[in-house]
Structure 1
Amino acid sequence: MASDRIVLITGTSSGIGLAAAVAAARAGFRVVATMRDTGRSGALLKAAEAAGVAGRVEVARLDVTDAPSVADCLAGLLDRHGRLDAVVNNAGAGRVGTVEQDGLGPVREAMEVNYFGVVEVTRAALPHLRATGGRVVTVTSVGGVVGQPFNEAYCAAKFAVEGFMESLAPVAATVGVAVSVVEPGAVASEFVASQGIDLPALLAAAGPYAPALDAYAARTRAAFGQAQTPEQAAEAVITALSADRPPFRLQTSDRARAFVATKLADLDGSAVQHLTAGWVA
């Protein structure tokens, strides 16, 4: 029964992670809602209280880039609950820029949070998920399927996550663990605001890339004007957690499905290049 199942969700202080934590609790799961800074748990706890599920949500510290933190969090969870039935890898960080100007630092940082953090949490959780026939659900992005201008570091990390999970899924299935990825498109959440993007400063420093960056920014503002809510995006996470036979890949909206479909049917890459070239023209 879902009411007996324990799910660990990373990155729950805001956005999809917060919405997924509340939705999972409402679906009957006991939720260990993790975040790097537990001082930011107020919004989650308030939302859980408003939904009537405060008793099913507990906050724990976890920094996905720190292996001892991951180990400590899992050890505490097992001490308290004795089992782990699912992990939702949601913690992540965005990056806007281009490699010629940014260098490798931001690329490495994006990989640490968005890729290596996911790998570490999944690796540490798998023995416990094998014991329960559990699930690994990872929130990636449509940017994990379609490369997007000025998102080189972010998309590279999300591509890596998708490749990792697509490769792991059949192996994990042999030991009873289901693996799914959830691909949101534009979501109206604090994730975007939290990136601290100073567009005027970026444009001033963009040099020959300034016209393309300005065009990209205008297109992105329009896209987020039609964004879905975190709660809507979290519905796909709950499907992956609850379905009898969850699919490997789930998009969170019709827009996301149409966008991803462009890539999955694009054998020579020309359709995607034509599409994204229009964003920077």
Structure 2
Amino acid sequence: MTNNPSGPAVLVTGGASGLGAAVVALLAKSGYRPCVIDRRQPADGVPWIECDLADTRAAEAATRSLAEQLGGMGAVVTAAGMDVPGRLADLPAQVWERIVTVDLLATAAVIRAALPWLTGSGGSVVTIASTLGVKAVSDATAYCAAKFGVVGFTRALAAELAGTVGVTLLIPGGMRTAFFDDRVAQYRPGADAALNEPGDVAAAVLFALQQPAGCAVREMVICADQESSYP
């Protein structure tokens, strides 16, 4: 993958797979310079730092390192996420807390670390929540807590940074990615489940980043037209 050296740098967390990889690919084709924080290597030629986002201090350090390496940071897209479904009483505490840390606390940590560059460039933030950030379901207390948190965090951040950094909350439904692969059968989508293509969600991310100065796309819901978790 070849990046345009004149385009703004965009940090994509979780950019090695799933939605994150789709965002990275589309950004590179659209003249941006994507970079990645992930535990796995992204597409060839994409600058990245290996990092477990459950270590939020390491995530902050990786963000600063990439910004310095690339001479700034024009935008952040927090596409990293995880879930392990199960009843609260059955899910080990360390697993429950890891879900909330990766999905919510790392989102805040990375954006906080990038703010000096984003405010200096009039940059943008796109956070990735979930339809389960606006609709609660059983056996998803950690994921719902985290994604409801991303919704509230992003709305507050948009108010806080209005006029200096563009902030968009993106709420996707289920997608055709490996997100569900490691789940037991009862928590996997059925063969006939309505799922969206990650490339379609990536296009919404690009749309948010391409808005002109003074125009804010605050929130978007992107899902298959028969998504069962929305509205």
Given the alignment, which residue of 183, 189, 192 partners 2:177? 189
1:165-220 alpha-carbon deviations (Å, 9 max, x no partner): 1111111114x111111111110101211xx2233xxxxxxxxxxxxxx5xx58x4
CA distance in 2, matches of 1:112, 1:29: 28
Q: Does 1:233 align with 2:201?
A: yes
Contact conserved, 1:185 with 1:255, CA < 8 A, in 2?
no
Shift of 1:99: 0.9
Given the alignment, which residue of 99, 102, 110 partners 1:121? 110
1:207-265 alpha-carbon deviations (Å, 9 max, x no partner): xxxxxxx5xx58x4256x321211112111111111222421112235388954x3xxx
**More helix, by proportion:** 1
Secondary structure, counterpart of 1:33 in structure 2: strand
1:85-106 alpha-carbon deviations (Å, 9 max, x no partner): 1000111101211113225433
Alignment of 1:65-80 (within 5 A): 65-80=54-69
1:99-125 alpha-carbon deviations (Å, 9 max, x no partner): 132254332121111111111111111
Q: Does 1:242 align with 2:210?
A: yes
Aligned counterpart, 2:95:
106
CA distance in 2, matches of 1:69, 1:104: 22
The one-letter code matched in structure 1 to 2:179 is F
CA distance in 2, matches of 1:256, 1:168: 31
Q: Which has the larger radius of gyration?
A: 1
Contact conserved, 1:251 with 1:257, CA < 8 A, in 2?
no
CA distance in 1, matches of 2:23, 2:51: 17
TM-score normalized by the length of structure 1: 0.73
Would the alpha carbon gap of residues 258 and 94 (structure 1) be closer, same or farther in structure 2, given more than 3 Å must change?
closer
Aligned counterpart, 2:121:
132
Alignment of 1:48-63 (within 5 A): 57-63=46-52
Identity of aligned residues (%): 29
Secondary structure, counterpart of 1:101 in structure 2: coil
The one-letter code matched in structure 1 to 2:208 is A
Aligned counterpart, 2:142:
153
What root-mean-square deviation, in Å, do the aligned CA atoms of Structure 1 and Structure 2 show? Answer: 2.4
Would the alpha carbon gap of residues 62 and 246 (structure 1) be closer, same or farther in structure 2, given more than 3 Å must change?
farther
Q: How many corresponding residue pairs?
A: 226
Shift of 1:34: 2.2
Q: Does 1:9 align with 2:12?
A: yes
Would the alpha carbon gap of residues 242 and 256 (structure 1) be closer, same or farther in structure 2, given more than 3 Å must change?
farther
Provide structure 1 residue ranges, at least 5 long, that are not aligned to the other structure: 46-53, 200-213, 263-281
CA distance in 2, matches of 1:6, 1:136: 12
CA distance in 1, matches of 2:228, 2:87: 26
